[in-house]
Structure 1
Amino acid sequence: MLGLMYTGVDFCKKLCGVSIIRSGESMENALRACCKEIKIGKILIHRNGDNGKQLIYEKLPKDISETHVLLLDPVLATGNSANQAIELLIQKGVPESHIIFLNLISV
């Protein structure tokens, strides 16, 4: 025993989800089941070849820079789309420490 006291955790007050369009949308219903009134943004990134990527569409909550973001993408292959989405969120003012990447399968 170290004699340290564990104080627990608290639910984050400002939380939003951002799905990477197509696969990420499959995770939205489960997120809404856990967090009824959660705001959800969308990002569409087009892959061009092995490493090319292009932002096609983004619709994010106006106050996204003040929230913790759950980035939804169930299947991670190369990671290019995830990297582009994280870069976009950082450009929008979201601290990197406030981005949590939710993923189910990594290949």
Structure 2
Amino acid sequence: MSSLDFPQVTVIDHPLVQHKLTIMRDKSTSTAGFRQLLREIAMLLCYEATRDLTLEMVEIETPLMPMRAPMLSGKKLVFAPILRAGEGLLDGMLDLVPAARVAHVGLYRDPKTLSAVEYYFKAPDDMGDRRVIVLDPMLATANSAIAAVDRLKEAGSTDMRFVCLLAAPEGIDNFHGHHPEVPIVTAAIDEALNDHGYIVPGLGDAGDRMFGTK
């Protein structure tokens, strides 16, 4: 399945992204290896999520001569990881944009209803003046993603992107049913959700694999 079926979704099919994702899917990949790959792939996803940031021309001097050169202008960035698995994407994003601010959205999925339950929220005061990139490795049912974007909108966010490793078609439809204006950047759209709300073929529970828990 490709992004052609979902106009608001960008699938990063770069060979390095797909190579790293395949290693992450492999159940024999260690916790340390999974964590490192998640950090690396986050940087590559960040390039796409920030592709349309505004540039302005500024005056600088190289060692040889003065020149006009492009620098970022306009809205600054906030990375908003959905705890706990979203933290795995945060480090790679901050490697690329160390000046970005961070909002934390603490949610867990109720195992019976699969609905999102909030337990923590902390964000900068000027959310309306910044582009917010919401981070979670998996877009499965999308209940957590929807709840996170709802909460960020309450905090003033008006310009958002959602970045994930894997997305399920059901999750994309559910997410864009609630937030059609928020683009999704992902490394792959998998086949479906199973009866437990997990993406298949997927890569398992990203949080458990990243932190070595079950």
Taking the aligned partners of 1:44 and 1:105, their CA distance within structure 2 comes to 20
1: CA distance between counterparts of 2:130 and 2:53? 17
Distance (Å, rounded) in 2 between the aligned partners of 1:64 and 1:14? 10
Q: Point out 4+ residue stretches in structure 1 off by more than 6 angstroms.
A: none
Q: How does 1:10-29 map to 2 (within 5 A)?
A: 10=54, 11=72, 13-29=75-91
Indicate the structure whose relative CO is greater, using CA pairs within 8 Å and at least 6 residues apart: 1
- Give unmatched runs, 5+ long, in structure 2: 1-51, 55-71, 168-198, 200-214
User: Comparing both structures, which one devotes a greater share of its residues to helix?
Assistant: 2
TM-score between both structures, scaled by the size of structure 2: 0.43
Shift of 1:53: 2.4
State the superposition RMSD in angstroms.
1.7
Provide the C-alpha distance between the structure 2 equivalents of 1:55 and 1:28, rounded to a whole number of angstroms.
19
The separation in 2 between residues aligned to 1:29 and 1:9, in whole angstroms, is: 20
Provide the residue aligned with 1:55 in structure 2.
118
Letter in 1 for 2:164: N
The offset of 1:9, in angstroms, is: 5.8
Q: Which runs of 5+ in 1 are unaligned?
A: 1-7
Other-structure match for 1:33: 95
What's the % identity of the aligned pairs? 28
Partner deviation per Cα, 1:34-69 (whole Å, 9 max, x = no partner): 101111111111222234322110111111121110
Q: How many residues align?
A: 98
Q: Distance in 2 between matches of 1:13 and 1:67?
A: 5
Residue 100 in 1 paired to residue 171 in 2? Answer: no
